[in-house]
Amino acid sequence: MEQARTRLAAASRDSSLALRRVERQQVLVEALHAARGRRLLLATLAQDLRVSPRTLARDVERLRTSGVPIATHRGRGGGVSLPSTGSLQPIAFDASEAAALVASLTTLGPTVSGSATSALQKLVAALQAP
């Protein structure tokens, strides 16, 4: 019984850490977007997010691997930036793709950020449309 409790505790801890990482990455992307192409220092972002610069560097790498176009700038005055973009191209999702995004946002927590709340509302409205 003790071993089962230990596994459940470890799984719960891992889930909690993963959720915090996803929330942190969402905040990071939003901060980069708000900077409108300006470079932000990893040390400053890490301090704002209350994590180490190394943790934030891993988050940046995970996002880049996932396809988020974060640019890294080395050396003095370096940091990270996101290309400044205007409007995105329209994206057509089928119902199952939209439902998958709704499920993901629900897991993240639709109130984690304004953009998460807005995205969830748009997806739900699209699913309810005739």
Per-residue pLDDT 10s for the chain (130 aa) are: 556 555 545 555 677 888 888 889 989 999 999 998 999 999 999 999 999 999 999 999 999 999 999 999 998 878 999 988 767 788 899 999 999 999 988 887 777 778 888 888 999 998 897 7
How many independent structural domains does the chain possess? Answer: 2
Q: Are residues 30 and 63 in the same domain?
A: yes
Confidence (pTM): 0.77
**Whether residues 94 and 56 fall in one domain:** no
Residues 16 and 75 in one domain: yes
> Coil, strand or helix: which one is 106?
helix
* Helix ranges, the chain (H): 2-34, 42-49, 53-65, 95-108, 114-128
With a CB cutoff of 8 Å and minimum separation 6, the contacts of 109 are 19, 23, 116
Instruction: Identify the domain containing residue 118 by its residue range.
Output: 87-130
CB 83 within 8 A of CB 69: yes
Same domain, 104 and 78: no
